[in-house]
């Protein structure tokens, strides 16, 4: 379905240890998958090292799974992981990390916004001793000023209020050493805000700057509501500062309430001013009621998170894995256990 480079020798990779895995999550990326495979393969073949391409279908509803099956059949370096439904990019990345065998693992988007041509530079940084190579966006072509503005401020806010330090303007595009992948696999929380998890593990990190391209084809899967949700997930997964803020707000309101009451009493007793109640009473009730509901909602958000964690459901379910052109036989007991001994996924 797509032209492979002439110097491409799949048998070269057959029995050697995989040095590099490239993980690509795909959700309705039918329009770009062939182009992505072609450009990526051209770069990877030139490296001359054993590599694998881990494509994760995140429950696409278009031709993506079909195109992936065809690629997996034609190209033995492709490992195709099909999830049972759309679990979201964070889960798809987790699935990719579980199925990648390389000493170095690179994560990139399917839409070629992260140029594959930077891979040699990333590998060089890894060989130079970095466990994590973060790619920092110098520019973000094709994105609205509002998205750039909100992303910029969101990362600064998150860094200020949480104990993780996320390098600003970095996305999921990055290289992880085997050590870093192992560290990530230890974090088996259900709420997977990947950028936060990447930062949480620490390890020697190198940052490389690049120019982010516009999407090669297709449409973005994010809308502002989705991004807002992701931002909220990020904050509530890595910081309890909002809870503390609610407490401080409550304290200040209570203090104000006491002073205001004293003032009314003094006014009535000393100045003999009859109490004029209605407007101040109503405004007090609504302000306090609003603040209380807000705090309860916030509390609920954290309790809800605990509820999801307590259920211990897998982060994703795998429908099928195709490796070297053949479906991988898997039973639930084959599935990769997490370090805590729990099953990360099951197959049907």
Q: CB of residue 31 vs Mg ion: minimum separation in angstroms?
A: 12
242 makes contact with ligand UDP (CB under 6 A): no
Of ligand UDP, Mg ion, none, which one sits near residue 98, judging by CB under 5 to 8 A according to partner kind? none
* CA 282 to the chain's CA centroid: 44
Which among 88-96, 195-203, 236-244, 331-339 is the span making contact with ligand UDP, rule CB under 6 A? Answer: 88-96
The least distance separating ligand UDP from the CB of residue 89, rounded to whole angstroms, comes to 4
Distance in angstroms (rounded) separating the CA atoms of residues 247 and 245: 5
Beta carbon nearer to ligand UDP, 95 or 199: 95
| Structure tokens that stand for 272 in this block | 């003999």
Query: Sheet containing 78-83: which strands, arranged edge to edge?
Result: 205-212, 132-140, 170-177, 104-107, 20-26, 51-57, 78-83, 318-323, 326-327
Least distance (Å) from Mg ion to the CB of residue 46? 24
For ligand UDP, the binding residues in 206-225 under the rule CB under 6 A are 220-222
Q: Does 31 bind ligand UDP (CB under 6 A)?
A: no
For the bound state, the minimum distance from the C-beta of residue 110 to ligand UDP, rounded and expressed in Å, comes to 3
| Paired tokens of 249 | 């707000």
* CA proximity to 241, closest of 155, 159, 143: 159
Which of residues 52 and 111 has its CB atom nearest to ligand UDP in the complex?
Answer: 111
| Angstrom distance (rounded) from CA 93 to CA 234 | 16
Q: Do residues 106 and 22 touch, judged by C-beta distance below 8 A?
A: yes
Applying the rule CB under 5 A, the residues between 107 and 136 that interact with Mg ion are: 109, 111, 113
Q: Quick one: which of 33, 55, 67, 110 contacts ligand UDP (CB under 6 A)?
A: 110
d(CA 224, CA 230): 10
Q: Are strands 104-107 and 20-26 parallel, antiparallel or unpaired?
A: parallel
Q: Is the Cβ of residue 128 or residue 226 nearer to ligand UDP in the bound state?
A: 226
Does 109 help bind ligand UDP (rule: CB under 6 A)? Answer: yes
User: Tokens representing 127?
Assistant: 């060989």
Site for Mg ion in 28-87 (CB under 5 A): none
Q: State the Cα torsion 260-262-268-273 to the nearest 10°.
A: -30
Residues that bind Mg ion (CB under 5 A): 109, 111, 113
Residues that bind ligand UDP (CB under 6 A): 25-27, 29, 58, 86, 88-89, 92, 109-111, 113, 220-222
């Amino acid at each position: 379905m797509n032209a492979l480079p002439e110097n491409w020798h799949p048998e070269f990779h057959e029995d050697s240890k995989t040095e590099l895995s490239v993980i690509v999550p795909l959700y309705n990326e039918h329009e770009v998958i062939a182009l992505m495979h072609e450009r990526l393969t051209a770069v990877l073949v030139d490296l001359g090292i054993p590599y694998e391409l881990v494509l994760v279908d995140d429950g696409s509803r278009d031709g993506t799974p079909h195109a992936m099956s065809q690629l997996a059949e034609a190209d033995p370096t492709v490992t195709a992981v099909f999830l049972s439904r759309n679990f979201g990019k964070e889960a798809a990345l987790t699935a990719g990390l579980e199925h990648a065998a390389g000493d170095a693992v690179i994560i990139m988007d399917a839409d070629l916004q992260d140029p594959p041509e930077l891979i040699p530079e990333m590998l060089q940084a890894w060989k130079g001793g970095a466990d994590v190579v973060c790619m920092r966006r110098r520019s973000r072509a094709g994105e609205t000023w509002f998205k750039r503005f909100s992303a910029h401020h969101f990362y600064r806010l998150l860094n200020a209020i949480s104990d993780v330090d996320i390098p600003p303007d970095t996305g999921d595009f990055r290289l992880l050493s085997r050590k870093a992948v192992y560290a990530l696999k230890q974090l088996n929380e259900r709420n997977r805000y990947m950028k936060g998890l990447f930062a949480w593990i620490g390890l020697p990190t190198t940052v490389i700057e690049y120019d982010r391209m516009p999407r090669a084809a297709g449409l973005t899967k994010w809308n502002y509501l989705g991004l807002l949700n992701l931002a909220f997930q990020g904050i509530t997964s890595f910081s309890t500062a909002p809870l503390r803020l609610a407490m401080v707000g409550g304290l200040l309101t209570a203090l104000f309430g006491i002073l205001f009451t004293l003032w009314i009493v003094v006014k009535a007793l000393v100045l003999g001013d009859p109490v004029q109640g209605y407007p101040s009473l109503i405004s007090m009730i609504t302000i306090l009621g609003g603040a209380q509901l807000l705090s309860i909602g916030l509390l609920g958000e954290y309790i809800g998170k605990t509820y999801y964690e307590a259920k211990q459901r897998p982060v994703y379910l795998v429908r099928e894995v195709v490796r070297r052109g053949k479906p991988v036989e898997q039973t639930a007991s084959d599935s990769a256990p997490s370090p805590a001994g729990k099953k990360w996924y099951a197959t049907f």
